[in-house]
Amino acid sequence: MLSLSAPEASLYAKACPFGEGIADAFPGSKYDITEAAKCRALGRSTACVFHLMRAAEAAAAVVSLRLGGITHKSDGEPLTLGGLFKQVSDRIELLPRGPGKDSWLKLKGFMSSINRGTRTKVAHPGVNFTEEQAERLFEQTQAFLEEAEELIRP
């Protein structure tokens, strides 16, 4: 029998763990955000991080398109988070200086941290994440998606 604490049960049951705004802005991320929350509630830390990276990648594709970038290679294969980061980064550099660009640069920082710090590690065998690491990455990914949602909002 599985037993969850009240906070774990609440997290497990949430339909939109990062909120409706993020679910609406990034529909391709909704499944993985929900699965990440369930995995976190169940103490499945590495699985939680895996789903968070998939959610971040789907959101990064939306951001890339918003900035006029691409999401797929010429052969039809989707870009990885690293490829999407390059698309976003290159387009941010073309923006005029000012508060708008500063906001995009903040988002670029989130993306870089997620890509280099986590995405490239979780994709390979032998790397496992603790509950504390999963919790931090859950919060970091949520912050990334909140920033991105604000920037892509019409």
CA atoms within 13 A on the CB side of 130: 3
Average pLDDT (106-126) is 85
Confidence band (pLDDT; 50, 70, 90) for 115?
confident
Q: At which residue do the structure tokens 């890509």 appear?
A: 115
Confidence tier at 126 by pLDDT (50, 70, 90): confident
On whether residue 59 sits in a domain, the answer given is yes
Judge whether residue 120 has pLDDT over 80: no
Q: At 71, is the pLDDT very low, low, confident or very high (cuts 50, 70, 90)? A: very high
Please check whether residue 143 is in contact with residue 114, taking contact to mean a CB–CB distance below 8 angstroms. Answer: no
Asked whether the predicted pLDDT for residue 103 surpasses 90, the reply is: yes
Q: Number of structural domains, the chain?
A: 1
Whether residue 146 lies inside any domain: the answer is yes
What percent of the chain is predicted at pLDDT more than 70? 100
**What six digits make up the tokens of 32?**
């993985």
Question: Does residue 116 sit within a domain?
Answer: yes
Q: Do 24 and 154 contact (CB within 8 A), yes or no? A: no
Residue of 108, 103, 128 whose CA lies nearest to 118: 128
78 forms beta bridges with 72
Q: Which residues pair with 72 in a beta bridge?
A: 78
Which domain CATH number covers 90? 1.20.120.330
72 is a domain residue: yes
pLDDT in the model for residue 121: 78
Residue 2 in this model has a pLDDT that exceeds 90: no
Concatenate the DSSP letters of all residues of 80-112 into one string.
-HHHHHHHHHHHHHTSPSSHHHHHHHHHHHHHH
Q: CA 137, 143, 147, 149 torsion: positive or negative?
A: positive
* Count of C-beta atoms within a 10 Å radius of residue 60: 32
Contact between 48 and 39 under an 8 Å Cβ cutoff? The reply is yes
Q: Give the mean pLDDT of 29-44.
A: 98
What pLDDT does 116 receive?
82
**Domain for residue 1, yes or no?**
no
Enclosing domain of residue 33: 6-152
Specify the pLDDT at position 118: 81
Sequence-ordered list of residues with C-beta below 8 angstroms from that of 8, at least 6 positions apart, any chain: 41, 42
- Residue 23 pLDDT exceeds 80: yes
Residue 19 scores a pLDDT above 80: yes
Exposure of 22 by Cβ count < 10 A (0-12 exposed, 13-18 middle, 19+ buried)?
A: buried
**Is 115 a member of any domain?**
yes
In a domain, 105, yes or no: yes
